[in-house]
Amino acid sequence: MLDAIDVLSSTGLRTGEILSRAEVHRRGKYHRAVHIYILNSHGDILLQRRSSHVDHFPEMYSISVTGHVNAGEGSSHCAKREIEEELGLSVAEIEVEFLFSFFQEATLSRLYIDRQFNDVYLVHADIDPLQINVDEAEVEEARFVTFEDFRDMIINDSHELAPVYKNECQDLVYFLAHINEQSR
């Protein structure tokens, strides 16, 4: 089955049921996804503007990389796969650091009910945005924004950032600010 996803229990464990991505969302089944934030050595965060062809939040900014964990796949493997697929980057020398997991539930439309366990990862890499090969079916552009601009997008409820990421981004801003304070 193309786009096969493990259906999870309400506690995040695999049930043995496997459905397509579309069917998982249509039925509002629990599943797992990855969210990856890429930061360069200046602390800038890579954001992607979603394509006008995607099924939710078209033309809005999203986090660096997102993706659904395929059936039988682990989330760290998925994170690396999604970096390669969405940005065309080799992950051979990129370290993907797990940060936290959280559950999010959102009804985006009658046919898109998201009950998702999100595994959040951080990548430190100096990437030239001009070298990024975006999947044009999903991503219109990728660009770095300063940490301050990213924080302002969240604090000021910017209509540029897809609202489904707001709570997660707030937690990430808190986490990164705390890490920056400790490193001083």
pLDDT over threshold 80, residue 10: yes
CA gyration radius for the chain? 16
User: How large a percentage of the chain has pLDDT more than 90?
Assistant: 58
pLDDT over threshold 70, residue 1: no
Beta strands in the chain (DSSP E): 4-8, 14-20, 30-39, 45-50, 61-62, 65-68, 96-109, 112-124, 139-145
Instruction: Give me the pLDDT at residue 17, please.
Output: 98
Measured CA to CA, the distance from residue 166 to residue 36 in angstroms comes to 15
**Model-wide pTM > 0.75:** yes
pLDDT over threshold 90, residue 128: no
Contacts of 4 (CB under 8 A, 6+ apart): 18, 19, 20, 70, 71
Instruction: Give me the pLDDT at residue 181, please.
Output: 67
Instruction: Give me the pLDDT at residue 92, please.
Output: 86
> For 105-129, what is the mean pLDDT?
92
Domains with residue ranges and CATH for the chain: 4-182 (3.90.79.10)
- Write the DSSP symbol of residue 152: H
Highest mean pLDDT among 21-25, 47-51, 93-97: 21-25
pLDDT over threshold 90, residue 166: no
State the chain's mean pLDDT as an integer. Answer: 90
Instruction: Give me the pLDDT at residue 158, please.
Output: 76
